Amino acid sequence: MSESNNVVHQDANYDPDVFDPEGDVLTTDHLHAFMEEGRPMLNNYVRHVKVGGGQHGDVYLCHRINSKLPPSHPERRLPVAMKSVKRNNPRAEKMKMLQSHRMPTSAHVSLADKLNTTEAKIRKEIAIMKKLRHPHVVRLYEVIDDRMKEKIYMVMEYLGGGEVKWRDNHNNPVLTISQTRRIIRDAVLGLEYLHHQGIIHRDIKPANLLWTEDRRQVKIGDFGVSHFSYAQRLAAAGGKDDTHDANDPILLDDSNLSRRAGTPSFLAPEVIFEHTVGVPGSISSRNQSPSSSQTSSTASATIQPIPGALKRPEITKAIDVWALGVTLYCLLFGTTPFSTEQNEFALYDCICNDKWKLLPTMGYDQVPTGAPGVDAGTTGTSADASKGTSTSEDPAGIIDLLDHFLQKDARARITLDEVKLSQRYEWLLADLNNPEYWLRVTSPTKEKISVSRGEASDAMTKVVFQWRWGNRIARGVSSLFKGSARPTGAARGAHLTPNGTRAALGAPADSLGRSSRWNPRERVNSQASSSTAVLLGKTKGKDKGKAKDDSLRSKTPVPVQTPTPKPSKKALKDQEGQQQLPQRTLNGKASTMTSSSRVASGSSTATTNTNGMRSKPWWRELKYIITWSPKKFAPLPPEQEKQRQPSPHEKTPRHLALPPFHQPAHDPPSYHHHHHHHLPAPYTAPVSLGNSADATPTTLTLAGESGEPMLIMPPSTRRSEEALRMYGASSMMNAADSDADSSSGVGPGANPVLTAARRASSWGQDGDVKEEFELESVRSVGAELNELVMNVGAGGVQPEDQRPTAVGVVGGGVGAFGMLGVAGPGPSTMQHASSNARLTPILKPDAPMTDLERYGEPVIDDSSTIGSGRGGRSSGSSVEGDEGVRWRREDDEGTHEDERGYRRRTDNDDDHYHEEFSDDGEEDDDDDHSSEHVVTFSPRRRPTAAFDSPPGANDEVQIPPLEFKHQQQQAQHA
Ligand SMILES: Nc1ncnc2c1ncn2[C@@H]1O[C@H](COP(=O)(O)OP(=O)(O)OP(=O)(O)O)[C@@H](O)[C@H]1O
């Protein structure tokens, strides 16, 4: 095991960023397949274990061998995923032949028809993936397309963490809310990029979100049914045609957009529009028997829609947003929002007509949602959660966001811009150290870079009022809302419960028939009274009548010891931003840069901006109160000082100036990989504050919940800035970015470029290096830190009895310093380490578990892909396995030969299957992939020593240089 760990470690040491080749996707037109040391080798790729199988091909973990590097070089072998797809699927051909007998044949075969062949589909997938390069989108490196071979190979970035698993076999969620947030945030970024490229993914679902090996990031994969729209691309690029897409017939074929593709549970209502009650000619069974509308779904197959009776809504990128909403629901609740025991048609009925169900608790952390019928205070964990000890999540905010994702009318649905930029949905960014900065660097367009959250709210306001379909309903809703607060708590839950009132394809209505879409006017009102704040969903059910701020505070361990003014992280960051963005206000709140608010920047902290949106006062943002013993604060530059609005809470105005953006006055301790810093106890640290190098170091003391000392981190933020400096001059991710930097204010005239992974890590600017650093620091002050803490991350959850109790990492940095909370054990401590804990796959057991123990019975659900025959589904069929794959496992150690002639070995050490070839390098695939695939478990993608070496061999396989290999082969052939 230790031996294998070494090798694993070697592999794990590969910095994924290292393999981030510049330039276009490589296309290779020759394929050499041979065996090397008992392993198949395809060109310069050694093939290892199979990590997935789809309808059209299998995905293997491979190592790309760079034979120019010495065997010991860490970059010599880089993990990649290789998907092999048969050019022509004999089964599909047979089907086509059959069809051609039935259908009138034409000399002209439509492009759509051609695209129906497997090869055409893979070509489209390739054409789409070739365009993509983003940290949250699976990257295509190379296409091996040898006309003489029967397969096409796609070499992709390897995502070793596997698919996002979201439920156990009892349909309980397995991800915490904070993990969910990160997953969704990554997906939002990836999706935003796709849409900006003109691509509709069409199959967003948890199974198509893949974890990186360390489970720090999630990337969107599987573009098998994706669609490229040149029009959308043009629109996103502001009318500029900066690509040659116009020449690519594969990409430009629009005909298959009208085809239903995706995964049933994740289909947007507009895709299955004909199931909507009220649509003339609707095939919804409820049309036929309105009395039993909640349940019945029979006879639907016989009813045909009347073509053209009511125009089918346009299929747009909003279908991906819907699917992401369904995904969010899945992660939160462990089940799909619309479900039925019955057939697919019944499911479509639900999607089109039912309100999504609010369940009593959400997340693995079981945060009460305030749904009716649940006494949130009585269940154990729920009670804990609601005490605010284990989580500071704001359920109302999440529910509100979800509700806007799941708007049945695509035009009323929230947009990704709104999701990212609206202050209303701060939940999504809640754990980021510097949301403003994050927004800036993750924006895919120049235009968006200069858009502030305030401006986006304006845009959102417009969107709401431009909603024409059902305008009357909207007006009615507005008038209903006027002067009345929305139900809170349980009542709110009731609002979210399915009920008899439905507007056909309109905004979901609550029990009073009121739309759940919000009216910006109410937002204005919200400042006036706390009860109106409830209307905005800002208040948790538990804290009815209290404003969000209060409820938030009640959930966070804030020992308010002193009202001594101190700068919030936002204040700090704003000032930091001030170095680059002189137009920003300096009032210590999240800056809102609408043109009007800039003019009216006299508004003070914790008041409202011109959108009528309430800004959180900076001091409410802090999770811990800091007690300062400042010796000296460097003054702000005079012009900034003039602009600066003193906080109403400031008795004696004090200023804190940060070192200039690019020249930290205080040389931070190295925060390069794997450097650990041990801070001297007791809990104080000199921190240099001020904008000049000679600023006097200030001693900070942090206080914990009950006055216990908190640990201060040495300056550890600014990592992205650091990265920007390091990577600033390299190429841009896309053309739109290339001239973006000057306005974004990032970098001293340098392009704000990071390597793909660094550029837009949704973990914020302190993404990947700080964690160990922090955890080590905890050790240094003697806090108990066990494996569990290290292991709890975005990727999973701990067994209940093993949850760490000792340490909580406060996911914050306060300007120039991060901080770490160390609280004593007991009920008030955090249940799980926050996002900054080191993220490793947590399903790694100490003792081997059986698959049944670990995963339970294979989950049967309807999450397999339809369209293009993927996932082995056909319309109306009964559900199949999660991926269209059934599990099979031999328990005994030993070698088995399967029906495809593979020898398989099971190993007690891990639950991986070992696949070897019994003959030559090419696998002898059955063309029918849907029949049965051998298991691939989620954590099995982790390469292990056993995979890395052929059976019997212990150590590293020495791969001779490729050229040499080819010579050998040629010699043999001769
Ligand atoms: N880059 C990758 N890294 C690691 N695993 C991957 C990668 N790409 C795909 N996989 C795994 O292989 C499985 C099949 O891949 P993919 O979804 O691309 O194939 P498909 O033929 O489109 O499958 P489906 O029928 O499920 O749509 C995925 O579910 C995933 O678990």
Residue from 523, 416, 425 nearest 465 by CA: 523
- Nearest Cα to 764, choosing from 423, 434, 427? 434
CA-based angle 400:403:406, to the nearest 5?
Answer: 155
Q: Quick one: tokens of 770?
A: 């700080």
The Å distance, Cα 59 to ligand 1 centre, comes to 6
* Whole-structure pTM value: 0.51
* Contact indicator for 685, 714 with CB cutoff of 8 Å: yes
Say what the pLDDT of residue 118 is.
Answer: 75
Q: Which residues line ligand 1 (CB under 6 A)?
A: 51-57, 59, 81, 83, 138, 156-159, 162-163, 207, 210, 221-222, 224, 865, 870-871, 883-884, 941
Helix (H, G, I), strand (E, B) or coil at 94: helix
Which atom from ligand 1 is nearest to the alpha carbon of 59? 12
Residues 6+ apart with CB under 8 A from 735: 242
Q: Binding site annotation covers 222? A: yes
d(CA 50, CA 38): 16
d(CA 826, CA 259): 56
Which atom of ligand 1 is nearest the CA belonging to 57? 21
For residues 50 and 277, give the distance between their C-alpha atoms in angstroms, rounded to a whole number.
Answer: 45
d(CA 424, CA 433): 18
Give the HSE-up count for residue 759: Cα atoms under 13 Å, Cβ half-sphere. 27
Distance (Å) from CA 129 to ligand 1 centroid? 14
Structure-token match 């569990």, residue found: 788
Q: Report yes or no: 636 and 654 within 8 Å, Cβ to Cβ.
A: no
Residue nearest atom 1 in ligand 1 by C-alpha distance: 158
C-alpha angle 31-36-38 in degrees, rounded to nearest 5:
125
**How far is residue 535's CA from residue 527's CA, in Å, rounded to a whole number?**
11
Atom in ligand 1 nearest the alpha carbon of residue 872: 25
Ligand 1 centroid distance, CA of 222 (Å): 6
Q: What percent of the residues of the chain are helix, what percent strand, and what percent coil, each to the nearest 5? A: 35, 15, 55
Q: Which residues of 76-86 are buried (b: 16+ CB within 10 A; e: fewer)?
A: bbbbbbbbbbb
Torsion of CA 675, 680, 685, 688, to 10 degrees: -50
One-letter amino acid identity for 651? K
Helix H or strand E segment including 231? helix 230-236
Peptide bond into 21 cis (omega under 30): no
Task: Measure the CA–CA gap between 473 and 479, rounded to whole angstroms.
Answer: 10
Report the separation in Å between the CA atom of 62 and the middle of ligand 1, taken as the mean of its atom positions: 14
Distance CA 556, CA 37 (A): 57
| Partners of residue 841 on adjacent β-strands | none
Q: Can you give 885-904 as a three-state secondary structure string?
A: CCCCCCCCCEEEECCCCCEE
Residue closest by Cα to atom 23 of ligand 1: 54
- Give how far Cα 883 sits from Cα of 146, 198, 562, 857, 898, Å: 29, 27, 55, 14, 20
Give the integer Cα–Cα distance in Å for 917 and 39: 7
Per-10-residue mean pLDDT, the chain, length 974: 32 43 83 89 94 85 92 90 82 62 46 58 89 92 91 94 94 94 95 93 96 93 88 70 58 62 90 80 59 37 45 87 97 93 88 91 92 50 39 81 93 92 80 85 57 37 28 44 37 33 33 33 30 27 36 34 43 43 31 31 33 41 32 52 53 31 31 30 31 34 36 32 32 33 33 34 34 25 27 31 32 30 30 27 36 42 50 31 31 35 34 32 39 29 34 35 53 66
Ligand 1 centre to CA of 162 (Å) is: 9
CA of 206 to the centre of ligand 1 (A): 12
Contact 349, 284 (CB under 8 A): yes
Dihedral angle, C-alpha 809, 813, 817, 822, nearest 10 °? -20
Q: Which residues contact 110 (CB under 8 A, 6 or more apart)?
A: 255
Of ligand 1's listed atoms, the one at least distance from the Cα of 865 is 27
Distance CA 322, CA 264 (A): 12
Ligand 1, atom 30: closest residue by C-alpha: 52
Which residue puts its alpha carbon closest to atom 4 of ligand 1?
Answer: 159
Contact 784, 807 (CB under 8 A): yes
* Pair of tokens at residue 138: 């699976």
CA of 223 to the centre of ligand 1 (A): 10
Q: Under 8 Å CB-to-CB from 137, ≥6 apart: which residues?
A: 190, 193, 194, 219, 220, 221
* Chain CA centroid to CA 414, Å: 17
Residue 927 CA, ligand 1 centroid: distance in Å: 17
- Tell me the C-alpha to C-alpha distance, in Å, between residue 438 and each of 420, 432, 818: 10, 8, 16
User: How far apart are the C-alpha atoms of 673 and 131, rounded to whole Å?
Assistant: 31
H or E segment and range at residue 49: strand 45-53
**Which ligand 1 atom minimizes the distance to the CA of 203?**
27
Distance 881 CA to ligand 1 centre (A): 14
Strands 860-861 and 817-822: unpaired
CB 798 within 8 Å of CB 792: yes
- Give catalytic residue positions: 203
Ligand 1 atom nearest to CA at 222 = 18
782 burial level (CB within 10 Å; 0-12, 13-18, 19+): exposed
Listed residue (489, 287, 509, 293) closest to 403, CA to CA: 509
Of 427, 376, 461, 414, the residue nearest 548 (C-alpha): 427
pLDDT at residue number 361: 93
Radius of gyration (Cα) for the chain, nearest Å?
A: 28
Residue with CA closest to ligand 1 atom 21: 54
Atom 13, ligand 1: residue with shortest CA distance? 52
Atom number in ligand 1 closest to CA 871: 25
Cα–Cα distance measured from residue 19 to residue 38, given in angstroms and rounded to the nearest whole number: 26
| DSSP character at residue 303 | P
Q: Is 542 annotated as a binding residue?
A: no
Ligand 1 mutation target, pool 222, 880, 913, most atoms within 8 A of CB? 222
Pairing between strand 697-703 and 684-688?
Answer: antiparallel
Which structure tokens are listed for 351?
């999607």
**Interface ipTM > 0.95:** yes
Helices (H), 728-884: 741-744, 756-759, 770-780, 787-791, 851-855
Nearest residue to 197 via CA among 333, 39, 320: 320
Per DSSP, helices labelled H in 40-176 are 90-102, 111-115, 118-130
Q: Which atom of ligand 1 is least distant from the CA of 224?
A: 22
Residue 327 neighbours by CB under 8 Å, 6+ apart = 184, 187, 204, 205, 206, 209, 266
CB 369 within 8 A of CB 491: no
What are the DSSP calls for 544-586, one per residue?
A: TTS-HHHHHHHHS------------HHHHHHHHHHTT-TTS--
- 73 half-sphere exposure, CB direction, 13 A CA radius: 14
Q: How far apart (Å, rounded) are the C-alpha atoms in residues 440 and 766?
A: 15
| Burial letters 666-682, b for 16+ CB under 10 A, else e | bebeebeeeeeeebeee
CA angle 437, 196, 724 (to 5 degrees): 30
CB contact set of 341 (below 8 Å; sequence gap of 6+) = none
Token digits of residue 739? 């001239």
**What's the pLDDT score for residue 19?**
56
pLDDT at 180: 95
Ligand 1 centroid – CA 153 distance (Å): 13
Name the residue with the closest Cα to ligand 1, atom 26: 54
Q: Whose CA is nearest to atom 24 of ligand 1?
A: 54
* Ligand 1 atom closest to Cα of residue 936: 31
pLDDT at residue 436 in the model: 84
* Among 610, 691, 818, 793, CA closest to 212: 793
Rounded distance between C-alpha atoms, residue 316 and residue 186, angstroms: 21
Top mutation candidate among 11, 51, 128 for ligand 1, by most atoms within 8 Å of CB:
51
Burial of 149 (C-beta count, 10 Å sphere; 0-12/13-18/19+): middle
- What three-state secondary structure class fits 742? helix
Best probe residue, ligand 1, of 132, 210, 886 (max atoms within 8 Å of C-beta): 210
Q: Which 3-state string (H, E, C) describes 358-391?
A: CCCEECCCCEECCCCCCCCCCCHHHHHHHCCCCC
Which residues on adjacent β-strands are paired with residue 154? 83, 143
Pocket test of ligand 1: the residue of 45, 48, 59 to mutate, having most ligand atoms within 8 Å of its CB, is 59
Tell me the CA–centroid distance for residue 902 and ligand 1, in Å. 20
